[in-house]
Amino acid sequence: HVQLVESGGGSVQAGGSLRLSCAASGHSYSSACMGWFRQAPGKEREGVAFIDQYGTTTYADSVKGRFTISISKDDAENTLSLQMDSLKSEDTAMYYCAGSLEWQVIHSIWDSNEYAYWGQGTQVTVS
């Protein structure tokens, strides 16, 4: 049973930084792609940043140059991270970690339906 557990959200002033983490545990979980989505009140969930099994990263235009996604792996669990710098008020949202199945062929990393596993979300507020 795979579990994704986020941490690291909070409140910060514009221009500040936060680091989100997502601990992925369960049966030596490995995925074709993991990423971060966010959803602001009254808006649709949107993709923010992704990293595939080869280490290739992809970013939404709105966060490119400010956010950095990374993943660390050990025998027990993988940890997905999102370093967020130069935060803006428009970055305020609930942030969700997502992971695909290991051997899944991803048709679109931006499609939330591609991801089988989700964290519970962590709130980021920028004022």
* pLDDT higher at 32 or 15: 15
Residue 98 has pLDDT above 70, yes or no: yes
What pLDDT, on the 0 to 100 scale, is given for residue 58?
97
Q: What is the mean pLDDT of residues 97-114?
A: 90
The DSSP secondary structure of 29-95, one letter per residue, reads ---SEEEEEEE-TTS--EEEEEEETT--EEE-TTTTTTEEEEEEE-SSEEEEEEEE-S--GGG-EEE
What pLDDT, on the 0 to 100 scale, is given for residue 65?
97
What pLDDT, on the 0 to 100 scale, is given for residue 77?
75
Q: What is the mean pLDDT of residues 100-122?
A: 91
- The tens digit of pLDDT for each residue in 3-27 reads 999 999 999 999 999 999 999 887 6
| 54 conformational bin, left if phi > 0, alpha if psi -120 to 50, beta if neither | alpha
